[in-house]
Homo-oligomer: A and B are copies of this chain.
Amino acid sequence: MPKTTLKKLATILGLSTATVSKALKNYPDINADTKKRVIELATSLNYQPNSLAQGLRNKESKIIGLIIPEIVHHFFSNIISGCIKAAEKRGYLVIVLQTNESFEQEKNHLKLLMNKNVDGILLSLSDDTTQHKHIKQVIDRGIPVVLFDKISKLIKSSKVIIDDQKAAFNATQYLIESGCKKIAHIRGDLKPQTTIDRFIGYKKALAKNNIPFDNSLIYKCKSLTFGEGYRLAKKIIQDHKDVDGVFAFTDLVATGVLKRFNELKIQVPEQVSVMGFSDWFLTKITTPTLSSVHQPGFEMGQQAFELLYKDICTLKKGEEIIPQIIEIPTYIVPRNSTRKLAKKAK
């Protein structure tokens, strides 16, 4: 029942803790026979080093922190999953924390993780975060931070992102190429950069195709909910009878639109095409299934950890971290809420 320690092994074998430790780590200055004896006893007593003591001595905990705005969220839970998987391969464990989009919580959690001596932190900014002192403090303390998804260009750190602008551009372009002429855009609050970029991407696609931008076609969600999509769908149709495309900045809202269109007997995609964003699980179960932009959460989580691991290693070697930015490619997943593209000539 009590844990086996180095000392216990040492006394049983009539050795010192130093020798036992070195034997287990295969130091060259230990006799082969002794090593064998030590290893045998260690395995038979199921010795496991106390990682608290190791951490104290080696100044590393082999634990990292992961801070996200929301856990119950398809995209972010994918991030968690990818991150944990990558971490495990390198022998790291992951402490998960949630900010609920609150700046205060973000600050607190950062502090908590620092006290726990984590070796690094993965962070997706909360919508409320406008200043970055708290993050700089962490970095200055020698704890590497990697930002992902919701980032800030003002923070000098490694980052993992998608190109929201390009992705939104492609989504809009797709709608246009499939025959849409009048496309409404449902956007969210302009606080997170992602929302801004998706809006810009939409506008750029219009410009590229010489479609004049019409501000009355832009609808703003008060909250990021199914209900908002449901509400706005009717408004869109009332305002513009000839709308033939809707690009929503997130799937959840697009799903609400779909539902309302069904109820209003508006044919999707024959009359109006609907395009979402994120490629959540629910895109596959709506009627009709929802076309969307795939946002690769799992890959982002993996890459974010790998980047952090690299930073941890360079810091351990005493070198300076050179921030690196990885952009994960996105792609459109066409389903039944948009019309088919004419096949391109090769």
- A residues near B (Cβ < 8 Å) are 1-3, 48-53, 55-56, 61-63, 71-74, 77-78, 80-81, 84-85, 88, 93-98, 111-117, 140-142, 226, 255-256, 259, 262, 281-282, 284-287
Bound together, the chains give a CA A97 to CA B92 distance in angstroms of 11
Add 15 more A-B contacts to A48-B115, A71-B84, A84-B96 (CB < 8 A): A2-B142, A49-B115, A53-B56, A62-B116, A71-B77, A73-B77, A85-B98, A93-B95, A93-B97, A93-B112, A93-B116, A96-B96, A255-B285, A259-B287, A285-B286
Residues of chain B lying within 8 A (CB to CB) of residue A93: 95, 97, 112-113, 116
Q: List 6 A-B contacts (CB under 8 A).
A: A51-B117, A63-B95, A262-B287, A282-B282, A282-B285, A285-B285
Residues in chain B near residue A94, CB distance under 8 A: 95-96
Residues of B with C-beta under 8 A to A77? 71-73, 77
Chain B: CB-nearest residue to A74:
B72
Question: In the complex, what residues of B have CB within 8 A of residue A259's CB?
Answer: 285, 287
A235 to chain B, nearest CB (A): 19
Give the chain B neighbours of A74 by CB distance below 8 A.
Answer: 72
CA distance A95 to B50 in the complex (A): 17
Q: Which residues of B contact A61 (CB under 8 A)?
A: 52
A72 with B81, Cβ < 8 A, contacts A141-B1, A259-B287, A286-B285 known: yes
In angstroms, how far is the closest chain B Cβ from the Cβ of A202? 24
Instruction: Find the residue from A52, A85, A141, A287 having the highest chain B CB count within 10 A.
Output: A52
Contact partner, A226, options B72, B113, B285, Cβ 8 Å: B285
Contact B84 A97 (CB under 8 A): yes
Could you say which residues of chain B place their CB within 8 Å of the CB of A141?
Answer: 1, 3
Residues of B contacting A113 in the complex (Cβ-Cβ under 8 angstroms): 93
Q: Which residue of B lies closest to A263 (CB)?
A: B287
User: A-B pairs with the 6 shortest C-beta distances?
Assistant: A52-B55, A71-B81, A52-B56, A72-B77, A77-B77, A48-B115
A81: chain B residues at CB < 8 Å are 71-72, 98
Which partner residue on chain B sits nearest A111 by CB separation? B48
| A71 surroundings in chain B (CB, below 8 A) | 77, 80-81, 84
Bound-state CA distance A97–B285 (Å) is 28
- Identify which of A48, A78, A88, A96 gathers the most chain B CB atoms within 10 Å of its CB: A96
Residue of B nearest to A229 (CB): B285
**For residue A111, which residues in chain B have a CB less than 8 angstroms away from its CB?**
48
Q: When the two chains form the complex, which single residue of B56, B116, B284 contacts A63, counting CB atoms closer than 8 Å?
A: B116
Given the complex of chains A and B, what is the CA–CA distance between A88 and B112 in angstroms? 10
What's the least CB distance linking A252 to chain B, in Å? 8
In the complex, the answer to whether A96 meets B112 with C-beta atoms within 8 Å is no
